Amino acid sequence: MRKVIFLFLIACNSKGYSSENEKFLLNRYIDSTRANAIVYASQLAAPSIVSITVLTKEVVEEYPPFLDPFWKEIIPPSYSIRTVQSLGSGIVITSDGYVITNEHVVGDNPDSILITFPNAEQYVAKLIYKDAKLDLALLKINSNRKDFPYAKLGNSDELMVGEWAIAIGNPLAFYLENTEPTITAGIISAIGRSVKGKGDREYRNMIQTDAAINPGNSGGALVNVKGEVIGVNTFIFSQSGGFEGIGFAIPINTVKKFFNEVIKFGKLREAFIGIDVQPLTNEIKKALGYNGNLGVLVSSSYDSQIKEGDIILKVNDKEIKNVGDWHNLTYFLVPDDILKIELFRNGKIYSFELKPKEVIYDEYKSDFGIKWTINNPLIAQKFSLKTIKGILVLEVFQNSLAEYIGIKKGDVILKMNGIDINNKNDFEKVLEIVKSKRYIDITIDRFGQKLYLRSYL
């Protein structure tokens, strides 16, 4: 600013003051400041941000209009099929037309997906893979083109709280005829946020921003001032339904890992390390002779290198201050990952390298009416179970004995008629015994709570 003012004064002194000179110099200064870093970053990224239109067919119950609710209990409805349209945003990440968006944008069973570029070009796309846990989906444009505009991906591990953040997407696209994306700016408000989503979905390590994000922005880009995509805009916190300054984006490094896994293996190879942790209290620290402020306590471990009672201090050189930090660094692992663990044990600091194990398990079906698998520490971690014993119920079949008794998906069967169930033979043996009895007793673990079920046969 000082330099500009100095030049302005020199110009006035050399030519003499006039309103024309002042207007000319002021306009030139304003023009030079309009094209700032946000403008340049937006121009770099915007061509690769697309609008996504998803059409899905659904069956709808229909009754005659003005029918009294009483008659709805007697008169069966008619059924019709209607097409539901939903809109979101996406990011083209390769020149041959791979597109990243949110899983909730494409839904469960999309019938058609249409991609619209900012220049109004439209293409049909197909769903390659989606993952509800990560809320990510990969699409591929149906075209032989190899020159699609695509985004440059940044490094979300290098983000700084307070740096500029630019949200690019297609909010409220139902009402806007212009295909150009909408651009809003703010800052990175926080990093490493964890938020409980709907159902089993849990968002981890999220980027928080106050750049305005509105309906239709889901799947769009969060961009830094270099024009690099640093996150995928996903959801907002709002009491009014509109934006209130709290938006969240999935870090782009999570997206990169997701994309690489799907392209190479056709799926996500989920892997786990079989370690459970709990908060480190002052009483526990005193008992273990630890005086530091970092760390979480290992409560159970499937890995022989890590023992119960160890205090984990760092993972990949990142400090672990609480259980949330631990889950942020371990919630999305693949078999190729390597975790460098620094821990405290018996007054000394130790370092280990852990390689996550892919969870591969056999599924069984039984006449009892369930699909199930044998529980173990890796299964328990994958499904967030509170026990490593018993067998896990993966599915309960309709009109089966299991459904009648009250067994639910996610239950862990620990005992049947007083017999511990820990493997396939145990389960098959006890089912044979039950056939000769007039009753069945089952002890289950349901979300950490032990329940006792009895039914007479």
In this prediction, residue 302 carries a pLDDT of: 78
pLDDT digits (tens, 9 = 90+) for 2-33: 444 333 333 344 444 456 666 666 676 667 67
Question: Smallest Cα–Cα separation from 80: which of 67, 66, 64, 61?
Answer: 61
CA atoms of 124 and 333, how far apart (whole Å): 32
Q: Is 327 a catalytic residue?
A: no
- Coil/strand/helix, residue 100: strand
What DSSP element (H or E) covers 330? helix 323-330
pLDDT digits (tens, 9 = 90+) for 89-128: 999 999 999 999 999 999 888 999 999 999 999 999 999 9
Q: Residue 23 falls within a domain, yes or no?
A: no
Question: Smallest Cα–Cα separation from 202: which of 321, 108, 318, 332?
Answer: 332
Number of Cβ within a 10 Å radius of residue 114: 16
What is the Cα gyration radius of the chain? 29
Residue of 48, 51, 89, 135 with catalytic role: 135
Residue of 89, 218, 301, 325 with catalytic role: 218
Q: Residue 30 falls within a domain, yes or no?
A: no
Mean pLDDT value across residues 194-220: 86
Q: Residue 406 falls within a domain, yes or no?
A: yes
Residues 6+ apart with CB under 8 A from 384: none
Residue of 51, 104, 210, 445 with catalytic role: 104
CATH number at residue 387: 2.30.42.10
DSSP structural state of residue 333: B
Task: Please give the residue range of the domain that contains residue 80.
Answer: 52-141
Q: Is 135 a catalytic residue?
A: yes
The residue among 265, 291, 314 that closes a domain is 265
How many domains are contained in the chain?
4
Question: Smallest Cα–Cα separation from 169: which of 204, 209, 221?
Answer: 221
Q: Which of 23-37, 218-232, 342-356, 398-412 has the lowest mean pLDDT?
A: 23-37
Q: Where does the pLDDT of residue 243 fall: very low under 50, low under 70, confident under 90, or very high at 90 and above?
A: low
DSSP code string of 131-179 = ETTTTEEEEEESS--S----PEE--GGG--TTSEEEEEE-TTTTT----
**Which residue bears the tokens 């004995």?**
401
Same-domain status, 354 and 369: no
